[in-house]
Structure 1
Amino acid sequence: MANAAVVILAGTDGHTNLGRLVNGLEAAKEFADNDEDELELIFDGAGTQWIPELEAEDHDYHDLYQSVKADASACDYCSGAFGVDEAVADAGVVQIDDNDGHPSIRSLVDDDYEIITF
């Protein structure tokens, strides 16, 4: 059994960041597909911008995103800072604010989660 927190930090600009997103979603899916593993998928920082893009059914990675969306959350502060808070709420993605408006990485570490950033 593994506990993994996959954190998507890559923004939506550029091919490199798309690659980081896809690698992060693929890693998340690998954990999600194993019933014994615990997964937290967190869109943080500029990564919050991906949620409205991935919600579009014609996005190349919409289906991959949908396969892990149930485990997804987004930074509350960053969703607002990057102007996607309404889109994140409309998508039904939980916004977390455990640490001054941001996700608490420390609590994940305390709960024995491996933190993997993309």
Structure 2
Amino acid sequence: MAKAAVIILAGTDGHENLGRLANGLEAAKEFAENDDDDLKLVFDGAGTQWIPELEAEDNDYHDLYQTVRDDTAVCDYCSSAFGVEDAVADSGLVTLDDHDGHPSVRSLVDDDYEIITF
């Protein structure tokens, strides 16, 4: 059994960030497809900007995102800092604010999750 925390930090600007998002979602999907694995997908920093994009059904990565959506959470502080707090709230996704308004990476490490960032 693998325990993986995939953290998307890439923002929405530029082709390279789109590639990082796609690779992060594919990595998350690989863990999600294995019933023995435990996945946490976290959108943090500029990565929070992807939520309104991915929630849109016409987005090229919407279907891929839907395969891992149940394992997804978003940084509370960063969703506000990057101006997407309303879209995150509308999405119904869990927000994390364990450490000064941000997700606690230490808690993930303490719970034996491998941290993978994109």
TM-score (norm 1): 0.99
Give 1:42 shift. 0.1
Residue correspondence of structure 1 range 26-65 to structure 2 within 5 A: 26-65=26-65
Residue correspondence of structure 1 range 14-25 to structure 2 within 5 A: 14-25=14-25
Give 1:94 shift. 0.6
Give 1:79 shift. 0.3
What is the alpha-carbon distance in structure 2 between the residues aligned to residue 33 and residue 58 of structure 1? 24
What is the alpha-carbon distance in structure 1 between the residues aligned to residue 13 and residue 4 of structure 2? 26
Residue correspondence of structure 1 range 1-118 to structure 2 within 5 A: 1-118=1-118
Q: Match for 1:61: what amino acid?
A: Y
> Where does structure 2 lack aligned partners over 5 or more consecutive residues?
none
Figure out how many residues of one structure are paired with residues of the other and give that number: 118
Structure 1 segments (4+ residues) deviating >4 Å: none
Give 1:92 shift. 1.1
Give SS of 2:79's match: helix
CA shift digits 1:53-108 (9 cap, x unpaired)? 01110100000001100000000000000000110110111110000100000000
> Where does structure 1 lack aligned partners over 5 or more consecutive residues?
none
Q: Match for 1:100: what amino acid?
A: D
What is the alpha-carbon distance in structure 2 between the residues aligned to residue 53 and residue 97 of structure 1? 22
Give SS of 2:68's match: helix
